[in-house]
């Protein structure tokens, strides 16, 4: 599913309008806040939310730890 950013949803805000946004997010659960932040992070870095980035396993190595 291709998601498009609705650029008409954004506008300049006064301090009072911005405080209404804060009040809205205070009513959301922690899980909803984290989900929204994750979605915005994916968008900011140009990742498609439907095709989440995979962990680059070549950057890490595993070895047995001897005690």
Mean pLDDT of the chain: 80
User: CB count, 10 Å around CB of 18?
Assistant: 11
- Domain around 19: 13-49
Cα-trace Rg, the chain = 19
On whether residue 55 sits in a domain, the answer given is no
On whether residue 32 sits in a domain, the answer given is yes
Percent of the chain with pLDDT over 90: 16
pTM score of the predicted model: 0.52
**What's the structural domain count of the chain?**
1
On whether residue 45 sits in a domain, the answer given is yes
Q: Say what the pLDDT of residue 13 is.
A: 77
Please write the tens of the pLDDT for every residue from 13-32.
Answer: 788 777 778 888 899 999 99
Q: Say what the pLDDT of residue 19 is.
A: 77
d(CA 47, CA 53): 7
On whether residue 44 sits in a domain, the answer given is yes
On whether residue 28 sits in a domain, the answer given is yes
């Amino acid at each position: 599913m291709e998601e498009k950013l609705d650029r008409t949803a954004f506008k300049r805000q006064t301090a009072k309008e911005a405080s209404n946004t804060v009040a809205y997010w205070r009513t959301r659960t922690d899980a909803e806040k984290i989900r929204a932040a994750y979605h915005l992070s994916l968008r900011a870095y140009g990742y498609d939310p439907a095709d989440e980035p995979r962990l680059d396993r070549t950057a890490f190595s595993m070895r047995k730890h001897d005690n």
